[in-house]
Structures are given as C-alpha cells and as structure tokens.
Structure 1
C-alpha cells in the first residue's frame, strides 16, 4: 500500500473510531497475521503508525 493510501486509511479509521483507531488497526494487523497474510498485516501496521503520528499531531 502506498503512503497516500496509508494516510487515507489512517484518517478514515480515526474519524470512525477516534482514540480507539490505533488499537483497531493493531487488531486488524493481528487478524491478518493469524490468517497468514503478512503483506496485509504489514499494511495495517503502517496504518497503525500513521494513526499514532496523526493523533500525536492533533494533541499538540
């Protein structure tokens, strides 16, 4: 997934879940890992990091 898509997913996830968005992305990553889909899990980990970054920027 490219950086633009990651940012878009992170923003949408944050709008939908608020402060729980990072945890939701982590849950989705774990689910992908359990299914053996490493590439999708990596994408969700990137979304998780983007949510964390965005959330930090919003709190300043």
Structure 2
C-alpha cells in the first residue's frame, strides 16, 4: 500500500491522525503529514479508516 495525500486540499481536521497516528501527523498549521508512505500491513486497516473518514477526501491509497 502507498499513501498519497493532497496537502493543498487538506482542511486540518486531524481525523487521519486520530485514526492512524503511526502513519499521519499534522504540521504547525494542522495540515496532514505522511509519516509512513508505505506502511506495514499491520497499519492497513487504520489507514483505510483514515481515508474513509477524511472530510476533505485528500487521502488516496494505491493498493496492489
């Protein structure tokens, strides 16, 4: 899995961090930061949840 985000459209809600803190963080302005672009399989469910609940739909997942 590869995690791709559109930082320009991020509204800084922080839902991604709440769902998958090992994979996502926020910068000083609250904009999403990807900590693990290719997370381990153990994080897949949390990352999928983060993508699903993102209110701005800025998280895209590329899965094999």
TM-score by length of 2: 0.31
Higher normalized helix content (fraction of residues): 1
Structure showing greater radius of gyration is: 1
TM-score by length of 1: 0.32
